[in-house]
Structure 1
Amino acid sequence: MTAFRLLWTAADQLTRRNLLLAAVLAGTAELCAAGLLGVSGWFLTSCAVVTAQANTTWSWMYPSGTVRALALGRTGLRYSERLVSHGALLGATVSLRSRLVRAATTVPARELRDHRDGALMARLTSDVGAVGGTAGQVFPPLAGIGLTAAAVVTLLMVTSPPSGAAELLLLALSTATAVTAERRTRGHQRTAAQAWAAARTSLLSARSALPELRCLDAVDLVRDQVADAVGRARCAEAAAASVMRRSRLLLRLLAVAGQTALLVLALSGPVFRQPAADAIAEVLLVAAAYELMETLPQVLCDHGLAADAAQRLTDLANRALPDELPTTSAPGALLAGTAGALVARQVPVGIDDVRTEWSAVIEPGSVVMVTGPNGSGKSTLLATLAGRISPAAPRSVLLDGVPVESLPAHAIADLLTLVEAEDWIADATVAENLRQAAPGADDDTLRAALAATALERLPLDAPTGPLGGALSQGQRRRLVIARAVLRAPAVLLLDEPTAGLDDRTAVRMLTGVRRALPDSALVIALPDRHEDLIPFAATHVLRLQATPRAATVE
C-alpha cells in the first residue's frame, strides 16, 4: 500500500479536499513565482532597452502592474497553501492514527506479544507521522515542481521548439539525477535506522542487566557494541548526506547548462534570434524551474520514508475495524455444552522427542495442574492456551467456543489472563501497578487483592522500582498475581506462581486466589517439587517430562 493510498483511505472528506486544495495552491503559487521572475526580468530588460533607444511611447504601467499582481499572488497563495496543507496534515494524522489504533484492538494477543518491545507504538507514532507528513512535505512540493516544469517547457515549445526540446531533455536528466540520489540515500538511511535500532536495543538490554554486566566485567564490551552501532549509523547518515550534496551540485550544473543553452539558442543565428528582453525572460523562467528541481531529491526522500512507513502499516491498516467484524450469535455454538469454557483439543505438549497431545475441557471453577521439570514445555502450553503462540492446528484451542487464533486481543483480555514467570512491573507504586488492571478500584479493593496473595503488609504507596527491582522475587510474583485477580477473568493461567516463595506463603497465596476467584478456571503450571503445594483438588493433572517418556494425564 502506497503512502498516498493509505492516507487517502484513512482521511475523511474534509481532509481529502484539503489535500487536493493544498496541491493546487502550491502549484499555482510556484507558477506565480516563476512568472514573477520571468516578467520581472523581461520588464527590467525592456526598460533598459527603451531607455537606450529613447522610446517615449513604451508604457511601463501594465508590466509593473503584472509584476505587482504576481508578487501579491505568490505571497497570498503560499500563505494559503501553508494553512491548508497544515490543516490537511493534522487532519490526516488524526484520522490515520485513530483508524490504526482502532484496528490494533483487533490484533490477536499472540501478535501483540511480538510488539512488546515498542514496535507497535513506534508504528502508531513515527510511522503515522511519516505518512501524515506527506500531506505537507510531499504532495504540495511535487505539485509545484510538476506544474512549473510543465508550464515552462510548454511555453518554450510554443515560442522556440528547439529551446523547449533542449530544456525538456535537461529537465529529464535532472529528474533522473534526483531519483537516483533518492534511491541511494534511502539505502543509507535504512542502514542507519537498523544501526540505531541495534544501539537502542543494546542500551535497553544493558540498562536492565547492568548489575549482572558489572559482575561479569562486561560493561566495556557492551559499551563497545553500542559505540560500534552508533558509529555505523553515523557513517550511513554521513554517506546519505554526501549523496544529497553531490546530487544538488549536479542539479546546479544542469541548471547552468540549461540556462546557457537557452540563452545561446535565443540570441545566436538568424533562425533562433529573439529580442533580448524575451531571451532574459525565458532564461529566468527556466531558472525558476531548476530552482524547484533542486528540492526534488529531498522531496523524493521524504516520499520514500513515507512509503516505507506505509508498507509497515499495511497489515494493520487492512484489518477490519471492531464495528466491521462479524458477530457470533451464540458464543458456544461451535462446541455444544462448552460455553464459557477453555477447550484444548489435541494440543501438542512437551518438547522434541517427548511431544504428545493433550485434550481437556476446562470448565468455570475447575483447576488444571501442569507439572514438570524446567524445559518440559509448561510455559509454552500456557502461552498456547492464552493465544500468544499460534496453535499447531486451527481450532485446537477454543475460548468460549471460538478459536483463540481468530479472537482479537480485547476479546481474549476480557475472558483470560496469563501471569507469566517473568511478568512486567511498571516503575511506579504498588497501587499504580494494581490499577493497571482496575483503574477505578478504590484502596480497599486493592488491599483485598493484596491480601488474597499474602501481601497484606505491602503498603499501597510503596515504590516498585524499575521492573519491580525494589521488591523481592516473591513480592514481584504475588504483585502481578494480585493484579490479575483484580481483573476477575473467566480463566486465569499462572506460570510457576510459587517461584521465590516459601511453602507456607505459597499455600496462603494459592488459597487466597481460589477464594477470591471461586468461579474462575485456574490453570497452574508448577515444577515437580512444588506440585504438592496446591491446597485444593485439581480437576485435571498434566505431568510433562523432559526425558523420552510420554506425558501423563490424570
Structure 2
Amino acid sequence: MNAWRLLRHSMPRRDLAVGIALAATAELSAAALLGLSGWFLTTCALVTLLANTTWSWMYPSGTVRALALARTSLRYLERLVSHRVVLATTVNLRGRLVRGAGDLSARELRAQRDGTLLTRLTADVETVAGLPAQVLAPLAGCAVTAVLVEALLLRASPVLGAAELGVFAGGGWWAIRTARRTRRHLADAAAARAGARTELIAARAAFNELRCLGAVPQVRDVVAAALGREETAAAAAAAEQRTGRLGLRLLAAIGQGLALLLALQAGGWAQPVADAVGEVLLLAAVWDLLDRLPQLFQELAAAQGAAARLGPLAATAADRQQPVPMRGGPVLSVAELPAGDGGRPLSFTVRAPGLVVVTGPNGSGKSTLLGQLAGRVPTVPGQVRLGTAPVAELPAEAVAEVLTLVEADDWLADTTVSANLCLAAPHADPERLRSALAAVGLGTLRLDTPVGPAGRALSQGQRRRLAVARAILRRPRILLLDEPTAGLDRPTAEALLRELRRV
C-alpha cells in the first residue's frame, strides 16, 4: 500500500499545509540571510576602501535583522506545528490500524505472531506517521528554496543560471543514487539482524536440548556469522553515505566556483565582488539543504516499505466478510476437504450440542484439519463454512465469538495462572476462575502461581489443562482440542474428557 494512501484519512491536512509553508519560508529566510549578509559585509568593506559616503547601510542592515528574526521564529513555529502533525497522525493511524487488526482473519492474525504485530503498530506506524512532517516538509522547503534561487540566478545572469541548473540536476541525481545504494546495504543489514534474532529466539527455546547435544557452539557460530554480515552491511552503508556527502560537497564547490568566476567577469571590480560573494553564499545555503536529500529519500523509501507492511491492517471491516447469524442451522460445515493423509475428502457438519472425535496416526493431518476448521490454515474458499460464511474470510474476532481452538502448543504468558485465564475472560471473578481450573482437574493450583516463560514452570499436563481451562472460560459454541489428554495419566485424562462433555 502507498504511504500517502495510508495517511489520507489520518493526517491533519490543514496543520500539515501550515507546517510545509512555515518550513519553506524558514529555509528561504535562512538562504536569503546568508546571501544578503555576505553581500552586505563585502559591500561595507568595499565602500570603506572607496571612501564612499553616499551609500546607505540602513536598509540592508534592517533586512538582515528581519531575516534573522524571521528564520528563528519560523523554525520554532515549524517545529511546533510539525510535532503536532506527527502526534496527531500517529494517534489517528495507530487507532485505525488497531481496529483493523481486530478485523483480520484467523490465518492473517496467526501470521502476525512472535511480536510482528507489535512491531507493525509501533515502529512501522512511527515511520509512516513521520513522513508528512519530517520528510515532506523538509523536501518542500528544499525544493522551493532551490527553485527561487535558480530563478534569481537566471534573472541576474542566464549563463550562470543555466550552469547552476545543470549542477543542481547532477546533485539531485547523485542524492537519489546515494539513497538507493545505501538502502540496499541497510536492507542487507536488517535481514542479517533478523536472522540473528531468529536464531537466538530458537536457541533460547531449545537451549537445554542444544546443550545436551553439544550444539551450542555451532549455534553461537551461526549467530556470530549473521552479526558479522550485519556489521559488514552497516559499514558498507556508512561508506556509501560518506561517498554521497563527498560527492554533493564536490558538486557544491563546482557550483560556487562557477558562480564566482562568472560574476567576476563583469565589468569593474567593486560591485561584482560583492555580488559574487552574495551569490556564492546563497548557493552555499541551497547546497546545505541538498546535502540532506539522501537521508530524506532514504526515509521516504523506509516509509513506503512500512506502509506496504501495514497494508493488511488498513483494510476496513466493510472490506471483509461479516459473520452471518447461524440460528438453528449447522454451526460448522465441511465440504470436500482434502484429507491430510491422501485419503478421500472429508465432508461433515457439526451442530451444537454434539461431539466429534478425529482419530488417526501421527502425521495424518489431525492438527492441520483443526487449523483449517479454525481458519488458521488456508483452504479452498467454501470448503469450511462457519454458519453460511467461509471461515477463512471471517474476521478473527467474529470466529472467536463462536469457535475456540486449543492447539497442542497453545501459548501461555509469562505471568500468573490468573492472568492467563483472564485473557479469555477479563472480568471473571476468582470464583469463576477456580471453577474453570476445577473442571480440568487443576483445582489445587493457586491463581497466583507463576507459569514461567512459555509455561515451563508447569508440567506438560498442567500447561495443556490450563490452556483448556482458558478456552472453557470463553464459552464458545464450538471447542476444538488438539490432543487434550497428551501428557496425562489415564484416570486424569478420563476425568478431563468427562468434564469437557459436561461443560
TM-score range for the pair, normalised by the shorter chain length: over 0.9
Q: Does 1:500 align with 2:487?
A: yes
- How high is the sequence identity, in percent, across the aligned residues? 55
Q: Does 1:64 align with 2:61?
A: yes
Quick check: 2:252–2:287 contact (8 Å CA) kept in 1? yes
Give the Cα separation in 2 of the matches to 1:355 and 1:299. Answer: 57
Q: Aligned residue for 1:440?
A: 427
* 1:320 maps to amino acid: T
Give the Cα separation in 2 of the matches to 1:234 and 1:27. Answer: 38
Q: What do the CA deviations read for 1:187-214 (whole angstroms, capped 9, x no partner)? A: 0011111111111111111111111111
* 1:502 maps to amino acid: D
Q: Aligned residue for 2:6?
A: 6
Quick check: 1:266–1:273 contact (8 Å CA) kept in 2? no
Q: Does 1:426 align with 2:417?
A: no
Give the Cα separation in 2 of the matches to 1:197 and 1:325. Answer: 32
Structure 1 residues 349 and 95 mapped into 2: Cα distance closer, same or farther (>3 Å)?
A: same
Give the Cα separation in 2 of the matches to 1:438 and 1:269. Answer: 84
Q: Secondary structure in 2 aligned to 1:346?
A: strand
Q: Does 1:28 align with 2:25?
A: yes
Moved more, 375-384 or 395-404: 395-404
Q: Aligned residue for 2:92?
A: 95
Q: Does 1:389 align with 2:394?
A: no
Give the Cα separation in 2 of the matches to 1:401 and 1:160. Answer: 75
1:299-378 map, 5 Å: 299-317=296-314, 319-321=315-317, 331-332=325-326, 338=329, 341-351=331-341, 354-378=342-366
> Deviation at 1:50?
1.2
Quick check: 2:320–2:395 contact (8 Å CA) kept in 1? no
Quick check: 2:185–2:234 contact (8 Å CA) kept in 1? yes
Quick check: 1:350–1:356 contact (8 Å CA) kept in 2? no
> Deviation at 1:432?
0.9
Q: What do the CA deviations read for 1:390-422 (whole angstroms, capped 9, x no partner)? A: 22x321211122211221010001110000111
Give the Cα separation in 2 of the matches to 1:38 and 1:394. Answer: 67
> Deviation at 1:436?
0.8
* 2:316 maps to amino acid: A
Q: Aligned residue for 2:49?
A: 52
Give the Cα separation in 2 of the matches to 1:199 and 1:451. Answer: 43
Give the Cα separation in 2 of the matches to 1:90 and 1:117. Answer: 27
Q: What do the CA deviations read for 1:131-179 (whole angstroms, capped 9, x no partner)? A: 1121332112101110111011000000001001111111111111100
Quick check: 1:266–1:274 contact (8 Å CA) kept in 2? no
Given the alignment, which residue of 39, 54, 68 partners 1:42?
A: 39
Calculate the TM-score normalised by the size of structure 2: 0.97
Quick check: 1:342–1:398 contact (8 Å CA) kept in 2? yes
Q: Secondary structure in 2 aligned to 1:252?
A: helix
Structure 2 segments unaligned to the other structure (5+ residues): none
1:502-521 map, 5 Å: 502-516=489-503
Quick check: 1:189–1:237 contact (8 Å CA) kept in 2? yes
Moved more, 183-192 or 45-54: 45-54
Q: Secondary structure in 1 aligned to 2:411?
A: coil
Give the Cα separation in 1 of the matches to 2:361 and 2:391. Answer: 27
Structure 1 residues 239 and 272 mapped into 2: Cα distance closer, same or farther (>3 Å)?
A: farther
Q: Secondary structure in 1 aligned to 2:345?
A: strand
Quick check: 1:265–1:272 contact (8 Å CA) kept in 2? no
> Deviation at 1:2?
2.8
Quick check: 1:428–1:464 contact (8 Å CA) kept in 2? yes
Quick check: 2:461–2:487 contact (8 Å CA) kept in 1? yes
Give the Cα separation in 2 of the matches to 1:478 and 1:177. Answer: 62
Q: What do the CA deviations read for 1:246-281 (whole angstroms, capped 9, x no partner)? A: 110111111111111111001025599962222211
Q: Aligned residue for 1:400?
A: 387
Report how many aligned residue pairs link the two structures: 503
Q: Does 1:127 align with 2:147?
A: no
> Deviation at 1:9?
3.5
Quick check: 1:338–1:401 contact (8 Å CA) kept in 2? no
Give the Cα separation in 1 of the matches to 2:55 and 2:340. Answer: 98
Q: What do the CA deviations read for 1:434-477 (whole angstroms, capped 9, x no partner)? A: 11111111111111000000111111111111111111111111
* 2:10 maps to amino acid: A
* 1:80 maps to amino acid: L
Give the Cα separation in 2 of the matches to 1:160 and 1:119. Answer: 57
Q: Does 1:75 align with 2:72?
A: yes
> Deviation at 1:365?
1.1
Q: Secondary structure in 1 aligned to 2:356?
A: strand
Give the Cα separation in 2 of the matches to 1:479 and 1:5. Answer: 44
Q: Aligned residue for 2:155?
A: 158
Calculate the TM-score normalised by the size of structure 1: 0.88
Give the Cα separation in 1 of the matches to 2:470 and 2:259. Answer: 76
Give the Cα separation in 2 of the matches to 1:22 and 1:358. Answer: 61
Give the Cα separation in 2 of the matches to 1:72 and 1:267. Answer: 32
Give the Cα separation in 2 of the matches to 1:70 and 1:289. Answer: 16
Q: What do the CA deviations read for 1:484-519 (whole angstroms, capped 9, x no partner)? A: 000010000000001000110001111112222xxx
Q: Secondary structure in 1 aligned to 2:336?
A: strand
Q: What do the CA deviations read for 1:332-353 (whole angstroms, capped 9, x no partner)? A: 49xxx615x11112222232xx
* 2:356 maps to amino acid: V
Q: Secondary structure in 2 aligned to 1:360?
A: strand
* 1:432 maps to amino acid: A
Q: Secondary structure in 1 aligned to 2:500?
A: helix
Structural RMSD (CA): 1.7
Give the Cα separation in 1 of the matches to 2:256 and 2:339. Answer: 75
Quick check: 1:104–1:316 contact (8 Å CA) kept in 2? yes
